[in-house]
Chain A
Amino acid sequence: MISKGLFKKPKNELEDHHWVKRQSDPAIPSELCRSCPSCKQLSFTSDLDNNFHICPKCGYHFRINGRQRLNMIIDPGSFTEHHQNLISTNRLEFPGYEEKLEQATLFSHENEGVITGIGKIGGYDVALFVMEVTFMMGSMGQVVGEKITLLFEYATEHHLPVIGFTVSGGARMQEGLLALMQMAKTSGGVKRHSDAGLLYIAVLTDPTTGGVTASFAMEADITLAEPEALIAFAGPRVIEQTIRQRLPKGFQRAEFLLEKGFVDGIVPRNLQKDTLIRLLSLHSIPKGGDDHGSL
């Protein structure tokens, strides 16, 4: 019990306000729990953090950002980022694009929709790209296309396999045809890497659509997918509008693509690193006369 007169009564409204504000600011993180969009059950955020952001009750894979993904896949401390300072300009002078870029940068804490670099996975040297869903839905403009192409060129030059995690709403319409050209440009990079006899593994995550599906996401030697990820050329809404009928359940999900023969396997997030290590190991037999050792 607090005895009367121990604390001074607030003199003015401002002080009062301050007092109220402090009182309502407990040392508990605002997001203690998250509700699963699939089974609606609540889980502690800390539990999710320790479980690869997979719902412990139903196995739903929460969407995560690029850095979180990077930390799950790459050996700690081994990652060197490339070209992180490339930022987009509004060459077409598309109305509102600068503001959108600014908001996206603030929201995502990234400069663009993809993180690229080199690092180790289970001790194997790899070139890695991870697309960033929080930056304008991972849409592909000139910088995304440039960073991915630069990565494939680097990997070709240094005889490295490429591991790529895709998530994208497609080509970025604010960059017009220059965004479309990135599909051709990145495909060129993939092709040269492939012609050099090097391995490219793509992991398609939710959602991978449009111009990214129609370019480097579907050009890998081995294509893996996360459970229930939406993988499409045209998104479900566009198709429903075009053909004016409801789509069957599970249409364009990873399991559907597996059934139709467009992905090699579905790998839950907690097994991805292990699967990648096994695949890298199976491809690491040195070729005759090649003194580059791993791949």
Chain B
Amino acid sequence: MEAYKRVALARKKTRPTGQDFINNIFTDFIELHGDRYFGDDPAVITGIGYLLDMPVTIIAQERGKNTKSRIKRNFGSSHPEGYRKALRQMHLAEKFNRPIVCFIDTSGAFCGIGAEERGQGHAIAQNLMEMMSLKVPVISIIIGEGGSGGALALGVADEVWMLENAIYSVISPEGCASILWKDPSKTKEAANCLKLTAQDLLELEVIDEIISENHRDFKNVYRELKLNLYKRFRKSQILSPEILTQTRYNRFRKFGALDITK
């Protein structure tokens, strides 16, 4: 399938959002709000719940389902508070030895005056650094759009999974076409060049697993995720924190170490 078709599917308004994944995979979910510095960012939902019999911390970017909720959720584009709230929950997960699941679905971190004023770059940078050394297992799943740094800020995980029709990109194809070729009509071409589909990214080893989907019915997706997450976390439970963080470090350390000429 052409890359741009995936982009359209990943952004489709009827596609399930973070909240749907929470509702369908976990039980007894309790949402926990706020970053304790400035406010609560509705573009990120955080909380704890059961994955079968296992308590886990859940962090999900939420883009909203209708006009009203999309405005409330800022279309899934977080302010720095969203990332700081996520980090607060990750540290709590570490304290209480709970695995962490992140659902990524954002067109990018929000670009605005308030976001810059309150350190959008700083918030993302801190997450990258802190996630690298979390002593509990972390799995990130890209369920829709994985927009650049705003997605990576929840994506430093032991394994990164991706739904079949999700995308993950350093820049939106629109942005790439207009910056590089000064021609927004070349969006489709840009989508191809950026290698942003799950298949491309599996080949580049940026992701570890593709979750196949029937994009009209997500029941199987939820079931598969529930089982895979449970199995994966059970396996990680026997690993020491040192091995866990070393493996995570190596996972990201490998990018670019091999294919550059010396």
In the complex formed, the residue of A with least CB distance to B180 is A173
Total count of chain B residues near the partner, CB < 8 A: 50
Hey, what's the 0/1 contact readout for A176-187 against B, CB within 8 Å counting as 1?
Answer: 111111111101
Stretch from B27-35, B114-122, B219-227 forming part of the interface with A: B114-122
Q: Is there contact, CB below 8 Å, between A181 and B255? A: yes
Q: What sequence of 0s and 1s flags, for each residue 209-235 of chain B, a beta carbon within 8 Å of any chain A beta carbon?
A: 000000000000000000000000000
A98 CB to closest chain B CB (Å) equals 13
* 9 closest A-B pairs by CB: A142-B256, A213-B121, A234-B111, A233-B121, A187-B128, A218-B125, A181-B255, A214-B124, A233-B120
User: Which B residue sits closest to A189, measured CB to CB?
Assistant: B253
> How many A-B contacts if CB must be within 8 Å?
173
Chain A positions within 8 Å of B155 at CB level = 184
Binding site for A on B (CB under 8 A): 109, 111-113, 115-122, 124-126, 128-130, 132-133, 148-149, 152-153, 155-156, 168-171, 176, 179-180, 193-196, 201, 204, 206, 249, 252-253, 255-257, 259-262
User: In the complex, which residues of chain A have a beta carbon less than 8 angstroms from the beta carbon of B125?
Assistant: 187, 213-219
A239 touches B261 (CB 8 A): no
Among B116, B130, B196, residue most surrounded by chain A Cβ atoms (within 10 Å): B116
Cβ of A140 to closest chain B Cβ, rounded Å: 10
Asked if A233 and B116 make an inter-chain contact with CB atoms under 8 angstroms apart, the answer reads yes
Q: Is A119 an interface residue (CB 8 A)?
A: no
Residue among B132, B169, B176, B179 making CB contact with A187, cutoff 8 Å: B132
Selecting from A47-55, A60-68, A80-88, A280-288, the interface stretch reads A80-88
Per DSSP, chain A at the interface is helix
Docked complex Cα distance between A277 and B69 (Å): 53
Q: How far is the CB of A49 from chain B (nearest CB, A)?
A: 33
Bound form: Cα–Cα A194–B122 in Å: 16
State A260–B168 Cα separation when bound (angstroms).
32
- By a CB distance below 8 angstroms, the chain B residues around A211 are 148-149, 170
A49 to B12, CA, bound (A): 56
Number of A interface residues, CB 8 Å? 60
Query: Would you call A252 and B116 a contact (CB within 8 A)?
Result: yes
Q: Is the CB of A279 closer than 8 A to any CB of chain B?
A: no
Interface residues of A in 154-194 (CB under 8 A from B): 171, 173-185, 187-188, 190-192, 194
Contact partner of A181 (CB less than 8 A), chosen from B171, B256, B260, B261, is: B256
Give the residue name and chain of the B residue nearest to A223 (CB). B122
Query: Does any Cβ of B come within 8 Å of A224's Cβ?
Result: no
Whole-angstrom distance between the alpha carbons of A273 and B117 in the complex?
29
Write out the residue numbers on chain A whose beta carbons fall within 8 Å of the beta carbon of B122: 213, 218, 262
Q: Point out residues on A near B: beta carbons under 8 Å.
A: 83, 85-89, 91-92, 94-95, 141-143, 145-146, 149, 171, 173-185, 187-188, 190-192, 194-195, 210-211, 213-219, 231-234, 238-239, 242-243, 247-248, 251-252, 260, 262
> Contact: A143 with B168, CB < 8 Å?
no
Instruction: State A291–B63 Cα separation when bound (angstroms).
Output: 54
Give Cα A147 to B124, complex, Å: 21
Q: Which residue of A lies closest to B109 (CB)?
A: A233
The answer to whether A232 and B116 touch across the interface, beta carbons within 8 angstroms, is yes
CB distance from A119 to the nearest CB of B (A): 22
Min CB distance A239 to B, Å, is: 5
Supply 4 further A-B pairs (C-beta < 8 A) apart from A183-B128, A242-B112.
A91-B204, A185-B256, A188-B253, A213-B122
Contact A234:B148 (CB < 8 A) given known A187-B129, A219-B126: no
Residues in chain B near residue A178, CB distance under 8 A: 204, 206, 255-256
Asked if A191 and B152 make an inter-chain contact with CB atoms under 8 angstroms apart, the answer reads no
Question: A183–B256 contact, CB under 8 A?
Answer: no
Q: Which B residues are CB-close (under 8 A) to A260? A: 117-119
> Residue of B at shortest CB range from A238?
B111
Q: How far is the CA of A239 from the CA of B109 in the complex (A)?
A: 12
Min Cβ gap B137→A in Å is: 17
Given A146-B256, A176-B195, A178-B204: A247 touches B113 (CB 8 Å cut-off): yes
Contacts of A95 in B (CB 8 A): 193
B-side contacts of A214, CB under 8 Å: 109, 120-121, 124-125, 128, 149, 153
Cβ 8 A contact of A180, one of B112, B116, B120, B152? B152
CB nearest neighbor in A for B176? A173
Contact yes or no, A239 B253, CB < 8 A = no
CA distance A178 to B257 in the complex (A): 11
27 CB contacts below 8 A, A to B, read A89-B259, A92-B194, A146-B256, A177-B170, A177-B201, A178-B255, A179-B170, A181-B206, A184-B156, A187-B129, A188-B128, A188-B253, A211-B170, A213-B125, A214-B128, A214-B153, A216-B125, A217-B121, A218-B121, A233-B121, A233-B124, A239-B111, A243-B112, A243-B113, A260-B117, A260-B118, A262-B122
Q: Is the CB of B119 within 8 A of A262?
A: yes
Cβ of B60 to closest chain A Cβ, rounded Å: 20
CA A184 to CA B170, docked complex, whole Å:
13
Which chain B residue lies CB-closest to A248?
B113
With a CB–CB cut-off of 8 A, which chain B residues contact A213?
121-122, 125
Nearest residue, chain B, Cβ from A247: B113
**A146 touches which of B116, B156, B257 (Cβ 8 Å):** B257
Of residues A143, A191, A194, which shows the largest number of chain B Cβ atoms within 10 Å of its Cβ?
A191
